[in-house]
Amino acid sequence: MVFINEKMNKESRLKATINQRLTELGERERLKELLRAKLTECGWKDQMKAHCKEVIREKGLEHVTVEDLVVEITPKGRALVPDSVKKELLQRIRAFLAQHAA
Amino acid sequence: MKMEDMPLSGPDNTKLEALVNDIYSELVEDACLGLCFEVHRAVKQGYFFLDETDQESMKEFEIVDQPGVDIFGQVYNQWKNKECECPNCKRLIAASRFAPHLEKCLGMGRNSSRIANRRLASNNNTSKSESDQEDNDDLNDNDWSYGAEKRAKKRKSDKSQNSPRRSKTLKHKNGELGSSMSADPYKYNYNAGINYEMLGPDEVRSFLTTQCGVISEHTKKMCTRSQRCPQHTDEQRMAVRVFLLGPSAPVLPEADSVAGPESFDIPDGQALMSRLQWEDSPEISPSDSASSKASTNHSDSRRPKKKKRPPLGLNSGGGIGSLSGGGGSGGSQTNISLSTKKKKPKLTAPSISSIYDDLN
């Protein structure tokens, strides 16, 4: 048990550290911007907006809430990210880790 | 901070990958959330559906996605294969070639006039040089061959600088020959000049009252620039008028006195020659003149290396200057001041009249 906890602690510590690193060095912001730009470029954003319109028409313009949108949009959004964008991002993250974690 | 507790070994690799994926998911979720907030705000502020208010214009400007057509529905190079009938020559011309064809066909536009002038010039030159060769055979003894020079010059002028399609290397060549400014106006004159033999006496007279008229030795063309053209001196202009209209003809408008032959002495030929050396005075070349072939300093900008001393200087430039000085009136004095300002040497009484007497 202690092992698992320790392991988990280690992992979570590791994760925390890395996250901290990402933010400190500004890499997180850069990655965010990169992802947004790529998604807009490839038309993901327009696709999602169209989906939003449907949801809104469904729920009614006046009564739609943030939660409604989040619940409807996020799973679809995750699925619709193109493979190329996903691969590129993963690569950058790996590179960052390799540089700053090893 | 060191990460010694995280070696990159086998089982940890998956953990690392999991970590990477976690980070990735976080980023994607962040993007989605951002979008949701944006949309929600737009909805609540009322501008979300703003681009969909007008259904008609939406249909009108819908993106077109057909082959052979751009997204506006326009066809690329639609007019490329069309042919137009020229109103002048009634031929069918390709659309993209129509405008240049019209320019030449109607004889308007910059290029067509240049080409026509050039053709005219080359025609004149070819016919001229052929006829002159025999006449001036025995007068050409010591000098370079008139025809050869004509040919050389014709070659140069054939590679015309007028049309914009000519090769760019021509520009360098022009520059080498001296200031381009002096070269180009000269060339322009060369092509657009008038041959005095083509004009009747009245035309010559009227021409000479308004224009410089100095005859270029090489081309036998009269300078079409104004009376004040910087390439020629007043003496030259005077000489041309004397030559073309007779010694008693009225000459330059600003000269009060007519340059009469009787007012001159005839100094030694050699002295005359040495005095009549101008840097850049073009020669007068009557077709039957003995010394016309001799002259050389024709426009230094065009042929600097051919600068020779004329044996019998028909450089009447200096002569005319003193000529009008001999005539002695206020008007001619201005001529002198004009000419001396431009040219350096001063001449004593020349013998232009004597030269012309010889010819006559």
pLDDT value, residue B178: 43
User: Is 60 exceeded by the pLDDT of residue B28?
Assistant: yes
Which single residue is written with the structure tokens 């001529």?
A: B335
Question: Using the beta-carbon criterion (under 8 Å), do B32 and A48 form an inter-chain contact?
Answer: yes
A73 falls within a domain:
yes
CATH number for the domain that contains residue A71 = 1.10.246.140
Is residue A69 less than 8 Å (CB to CB) from chain B?
yes
CB under 8 Å to B134, separation ≥6 — which residues?
none
CB contact under 8 A, B36 and A74: yes
Band of residue B37 on the pLDDT scale cut at 50, 70, 90: very high
Q: What is the pLDDT of residue B275?
A: 53
pLDDT at B5: 46
Domain boundaries, chain B: 13-62, 78-120, 194-249
Specify whether the CB–CB gap between B325 and B340 falls below 8 A: no
Mean pLDDT of B43-57: 87
Residue from A21, A60, A49 nearest B34 by CA: A49
Q: Is residue A58 part of a domain?
A: yes
pLDDT per residue as tens digits for the range B216-268:
777 778 888 888 888 888 888 888 888 888 766 555 555 444 444 444 454 45
Residue with tokens 């819908």: B62
Q: State the residue range of the domain holding A57.
A: 27-100
CA distance B10 to chain A (A): 14
Q: Any residues with CB less than 8 A from the CB of B102 and at least 6 apart, and which? A: B86, B88
Closest CA to B199 of B187, B188, B211: B211
Give the distance from residue A53's alpha carbon to the nearest chain B alpha carbon, in angstroms.
8
The reported pLDDT for the residue numbered A48 is 94
Task: Tell whether A68 is covered by a domain.
Answer: yes
Are B31 and A18 within 8 A, CB to CB?
no
- Residue of A66, A84, A86 to mutate for B, most B C-beta atoms under 10 A: A66
Q: Is residue A60 helix, strand or coil?
A: coil
The strand pair at B83-85 and B92-94 is best described as antiparallel
The highest-confidence range among A3-7, A59-63, B305-309, by mean pLDDT, is A59-63
SS3 B352: helix
Averaged pLDDT of chain B: 66
Residue A63: predicted pLDDT: 87
Asked whether residue B95 carries a pLDDT value surpassing 70, the answer given is yes
What percentage of chain B exceeds 90 in pLDDT?
8
User: Average pLDDT in the B179-200 region?
Assistant: 54
Model confidence band, residue B4 (pLDDT cutoffs 50, 70, 90): very low
Give chain A's domain count.
1
**What's the CA gap between B247 and B278, in Å, rounded?**
23
- Give the span between the Cα atoms of B262 and B215, in whole angstroms: 24
A50 is a domain residue: yes
Q: What is the pLDDT averaged over residues A29-37?
A: 95
Alpha carbon distance B281, B298 (integer Å): 6
Residue B288 pLDDT exceeds 60: no
Instruction: Say which residue, B129 or B96, is predicted with more confidence.
Output: B96
Q: Which two tokens stand for residue B319?
A: 């002569």
Please check whether residue B196 is in contact with residue B277, taking contact to mean a CB–CB distance below 8 angstroms: no
The answer to whether position A33 is within a domain reads yes
Residue B239 exposed, middle or buried by CB count within 10 Å (0-12, 13-18, 19+):
buried
Q: Does residue A4 fall inside a structural domain?
A: no
Written as six digits, the tokens of B24 are 């990735």
Q: What is the model's pLDDT at position B137?
A: 54
Integer Rg of chain B from CA = 38
Distance (Å, whole) CA B341 – CA B121 = 34
